Amino acid sequence: MAGTWQFWAVLSAGFAALTAIFAKIGVENVGSDFATFVRTLVILACLALILTATRGWQGLATISGRSWLFLALSGCATGASWIAYFRALKLGQAAQVAPIDKLSVVLVALFGTLFLGEKLSGPNWLGVALIAAGAVLVAWRS
């Protein structure tokens, strides 16, 4: 089971949910950018431990220039996402912020088809539309 993408995706969703709750509590009396910095330090420490435990370290020279470029771009996008997410949590309710953040699922489907040549079927697109509608409805406050 632990070798399947489904297992890790569900685990990711569970941890993402905890991230929102823990972060909302954590930013209560802390600046959102500083909270993002602290979170990043904790992530770095955890990843260093994981890489050490699994002997996953590899030489920097083994990474191609193309991989460096796209990993750097991904890192910049992640940082921008975290900064925006923590600022949104500081200003709004977790139950409103998290669903809007999950509109990233819709954007990944769009970007995947546009830039990566991925193909989605009719039912797949229906699911994407339902995710978009659901995110908006969950975040809606009247």
pTM: 0.86
pLDDT confidence tier of residue 141, bands split at 50, 70 and 90: confident
Record the tokens describing residue 35, joined without a space. 């909270």
With tokens 């569900």, the residue in question is 10
Exposure pattern of 89-110 as b/e (b: 16+ CB <10 Å)?
bbeeebebbbbebbeeebeebe
Q: What is the pLDDT of residue 9?
A: 93
| Chain-centre distance for alpha carbon 14 | 12
Q: What is the pLDDT of residue 98?
A: 93
Say what angle helices 94-101 and 122-139 make with each other, to 10 degrees: 160
Q: What is the pLDDT of residue 113?
A: 98
Q: What is the pLDDT of residue 1?
A: 81
Q: 13-69 pLDDT, tens per residue?
A: 999 999 999 999 999 999 999 999 999 999 999 999 999 999 999 999 999 999 999
Q: 82-130 pLDDT, tens per residue?
A: 999 999 999 999 999 999 999 999 999 999 999 999 999 999 999 999 9
Closest CA to 84 of 21, 32, 20: 32
17 or 142: which carries more pLDDT confidence? 17
Please state the domain extents for the chain.
Answer: 1-94, 102-142
